[in-house]
Amino acid sequence: MSALLKQQQKFRRAHRTRARLYGTAERPRLSVARSAKHVAAQLIDDDSGTTVFGLHDSALTDASLRGVERATAFGKLFAEGAVKAGVSKAVFDRGSFSYHGRVKAFADAVREGGIEF
């Protein structure tokens, strides 16, 4: 399978997911991005087109964490920052990623941290 075809399929998956989601000021969209080693997330207000809060897992102090453990620790840290930014509810946007593994661990940790979605 060519790289271009894979990229197009990933874009289509993300578009299908985001077609059903919309973030507002009261309930921003929590968008997750995952790479081979890292996870990043941001809260987006689609009404104004602005990012309310964003964070990358490089903000973690424990560099020895990997995989699901890293995503869980990052989810807790992200939830703390989101609550400080005044967000208590969000719409979860997994993008083109399956709700599985690191994405699921991140989402569960954010829920435990006090963000409802």
* Percent of residues, the chain, with pLDDT higher than 70: 100
Please report the domains of the chain, with CATH numbers, ordered by start residue.
Answer: 3-112 (3.30.420.100)
For position 20, what pLDDT does the model report? 87
Token representation of residue 52: 């309310």
Contact between 27 and 82 under an 8 Å Cβ cutoff? The reply is no
Tell me what the mean pLDDT of segment 19-24 comes to. Answer: 88
CB 103 within 8 A of CB 93: no
Burial class (CB in 10 A: 0-12, 13-18, 19+), 15: exposed
- Give mean pLDDT, residues 11-18: 88
Cβ contacts of 103 within 8 Å, gap of 6 or more? 32, 34, 39, 71, 94, 97
Instruction: Summarize the confidence of residues 44-52 as an average pLDDT.
Output: 94
Q: What mean pLDDT is reported for the chain?
A: 93
CB atoms within 10 A of CB 85: 12
Continuous H helices in 1-117: 3-19, 67-84, 102-112
Rounded-to-integer distance, Cα 32 and Cα 77, Å = 14
Give the model's pLDDT for residue 104: 97
- Bin 114: left if φ > 0, else alpha if -120 < ψ < 50, else beta: left
pLDDT tens-digit map of 50-89:
999 999 999 999 889 999 999 999 999 999 999 999 999 9
